Amino acid sequence: MEDNNEIIVYRLGASCDLGDVEEGKTYAGRVQGFATFGTFVQLNERVKGLVHKSNVKTEHKERETVLVHVRAIRSNGNIDLEEVVIPVYQVRAIEKKSTAVLLAELGKKIGRTVRIEGEIAQVKQTSGPTIFTIVDESGTENAAAFVEAGVRAYPEAELGDLVRIVGEVMQRNNQLQIEVDSLSVLTGPDAQDARDRIDKALDLRSEPADIPLLVPSPVLEKLRPEMRKIAKIIRRAVFTSQPIILRHHADADGICSAVAIEQAVTALLRESGGDFDSDYYLFKRAPSKAPFYEIEDITRDLDFSLKDHARFGQKMPLILLTDNGSTEEDLPAYRMAQVYDLSIAVIDHHHPDAIVDQFLIGHVNPYHVGGDFGITAGMLGTEVARLINPSVEPNIRHIPAIAGVGDRSEAPERALFLDLVRESYSEDECKNIALALDYEQFWLRFNDGRELVKDILNLTNNPERHKKLIARLVEGANLMIEDQMNASMPHVKERQLKNGALLFLLDVEIHAHKFTFPPPGKTSGEVHDRLCRQHVGSPVVTIGFGPDFAVLRSRGVMMNIPRMVRELRDELKGGGISGGGHLVVGSIKFVEGMRNEVLEALVEKISNDSTGT
Ligand code: MN
């Protein structure tokens, strides 16, 4: 037997209707009137049932409270009740949950008072009201609560809490806002119910569109599940007002991958409510100078995020890395991120080290499915961007072709992506855009140049300006490259390796202009390209070196730069060796005093590698 104290009697809230009544439950009702066949009992103003005279237990007057058990709800809506007599019981109020207005519907409720339920995604104190950003299953809107100018309203309500707000829907500067009359923090089962409901709906809403790839590609096809996973994580961040920081390698391919995603995310932010400038403060794109996520990068990202969290009540960000992030060199930054429980997702085509995956919530990498770096980050980023927001596809279809030529992809996908846009962009135009991106990024340094880069990639509906800009940048870049080559090429030293490869060495520290365009990596690349054209058919390796670094490129020699770096680190004590990159394009750092030893050991390793085409 149940203890009497545990018997629960429900009281139907004023807004409830028949749908909130359950068979088998006991309700506190009120006698409405009498008929020959029984007693009518109201469960609230809108819902009433009948206690048949055979089920009446006690005598009543009109408007008296009576406890009734719901025997049945008939298909015509009639409710059969039975009177029950319970000496001791608990009353639990039932509120109608579905009367909360969805945030996406607020536009139709301007001037009216509504009730909403959702999670606090940001709490910003202004010099006037406190602004709560609320997220529900349908969208995001702001609610303004005012007690006194500059004073925090409802201090008990914190980031992440589930709240119920009653207030009037207003429109200010084209933006919806709720003026809060009352705000209550949900607790216990109410909070859990709301959280479950919102979570479930957000999960569905975040599910990416089921669309085919831009081009037929077995490797991309195999990467679809992981691309969908990352797209879903990003969509959810957008829908829950979680800031996103997108870090990318500062070259044409890296920029392409990041800008494709930027287009998808900023459009989705604008579509899904919230502040008019949310596409700026909830999304930041930043180039990484090193070909990995450096301590310097995570330090800046943490610095800004923690300040935004403290000052503007923002959530901590989702970190997304593109054309970066899949190698051992990223670990120190990942360990820093771990201290703050930051979520990190990676879209990369560098040869991955398995150790990074324990730090990541998603990792798209062609090497995981038998592909290689020929599937460039810009190709991957564009496919993910389409999954995030298919509506941006017409704007970004040309981006993978630019990324492919920018990163010198030799995968079959390069030609497929070029074919896709051949009518609007020739291969040469794609090369020019890639060069313009590299050149402009040099001048941008650590800045993302969001709007300028959009013009370079022809994303601003101003093709004339795009063309002029590309022409200027390409002209500037080529002049500087020519200048650099005129200075460098005469100083290249040639060696014949025992495996038949030709090795070319250039000291970029003394035989190239410093701190200018092209920087050492690109200078070596240009030198390498020219030497390859001069020695058609021969395996060629080019090393451009400075006092404490070397940049390597190979054609026709099966190198594995990340592995060579690891071996040298073990073999040359006191070399201070680090580095990595792709298998046949990469860089290595060392201490200046060990330069000759490191270079000789490196050359020895290369001369043992097999050659072929
Ligand atoms: Mn790349």
Q: Give the tens place of pLDDT for each residue, 492-548.
A: 999 999 999 999 999 999 999 988 999 998 999 999 999 999 999 999 999 999 999
Residues 119 and 86 in one domain: no
What's the gap in Å between 376 CA and the centre of ligand 1? 5
Q: What is the DSSP letter of 273?
A: B
What's the gap in Å between 347 CA and the centre of ligand 1? 10
What's the gap in Å between 254 CA and the centre of ligand 1? 6
Q: Give the tens place of pLDDT for each residue, 580-604.
A: 778 888 899 999 999 999 999 999 9
What's the gap in Å between 380 CA and the centre of ligand 1? 10
What's the gap in Å between 409 CA and the centre of ligand 1? 9
Residues 175 and 281 in one domain: no
Of 451, 484, 518, the residue at which a domain comes to its end is 451
Residues 27 and 77 in one domain: yes
Residues 66 and 143 in one domain: no
- Within a domain: 557: yes
Pairing relation of β-strands 26-35 and 502-507? Answer: unpaired
Residues 90 and 111 in one domain: no
- Within a domain: 192: no
Residue 595 CB partners (closer than 8 Å, separation 6+): 545, 547, 548
| CATH code for the domain of 529 | 3.10.310.40
Residues 14 and 44 in one domain: yes
Mean pLDDT of the region 284-295: 92
What's the gap in Å between 543 CA and the centre of ligand 1? 20
- Within a domain: 191: no
Residues 288 and 435 in one domain: yes
What's the gap in Å between 406 CA and the centre of ligand 1? 8
What's the gap in Å between 183 CA and the centre of ligand 1? 49
Tell me the residue range of the domain where 29 lies: 4-94
What's the gap in Å between 110 CA and the centre of ligand 1? 49
What's the gap in Å between 407 CA and the centre of ligand 1? 6
Q: How far apart are CA 350 and CA 444, in angstroms?
A: 24
Of 76, 94, 112, the residue at which a domain comes to its end is 94
Say yes or no to pLDDT of 98 above 60: no
What's the gap in Å between 291 CA and the centre of ligand 1? 9
| CATH code for the domain of 30 | 2.40.50.140
Percentages (nearest 5) of helix, strand, coil residues in the chain: 40, 25, 35
Q: Is 253 helix (H, G, I), strand (E, B) or coil?
A: helix
Residues 9 and 111 in one domain: no
- Within a domain: 482: no
Phi, psi (degrees; rounded to nearest 5) at 124: -120, 125
Give the per-residue pLDDT at 1.
41
Long-range contacts of 202-210 (CB under 8 A, 24+ apart): 202/137, 202/236, 202/239, 202/240, 203/236, 205/137, 205/138, 205/235, 205/239, 206/232, 206/233, 206/235, 206/236, 206/239, 207/232, 207/235, 208/232, 208/235, 208/387, 208/388, 209/386, 209/387, 209/390
Q: How far apart are CA 589 and CA 576, in angstroms?
A: 7
Residues 182 and 272 in one domain: no
Residues 90 and 140 in one domain: no
Q: How many domains does the chain have?
A: 4
Of 53, 69, 94, the residue at which a domain comes to its end is 94
What's the gap in Å between 400 CA and the centre of ligand 1? 11
Residues 167 and 311 in one domain: no
What's the gap in Å between 157 CA and the centre of ligand 1? 45
Sign of the four-CA dihedral 106, 112, 115, 120: positive
Say yes or no to pLDDT of 46 above 90: no
Q: Provide the 10 A C-beta neighbour count for residue 314.
A: 24
What's the gap in Å between 351 CA and the centre of ligand 1? 11
Q: How far apart are CA 402 and CA 432, in angstroms?
A: 9
- Within a domain: 471: no
- Within a domain: 463: no
Give the per-residue pLDDT at 5.
58
What's the gap in Å between 26 CA and the centre of ligand 1? 66
- Within a domain: 460: no
Mean pLDDT of the region 77-99: 84
What's the gap in Å between 386 CA and the centre of ligand 1? 19
| CATH code for the domain of 288 | 3.90.1640.30
Residues 111 and 88 in one domain: no
Give the per-residue pLDDT at 451.
96
What's the gap in Å between 536 CA and the centre of ligand 1? 25
- Within a domain: 223: yes
Give the per-residue pLDDT at 610.
85
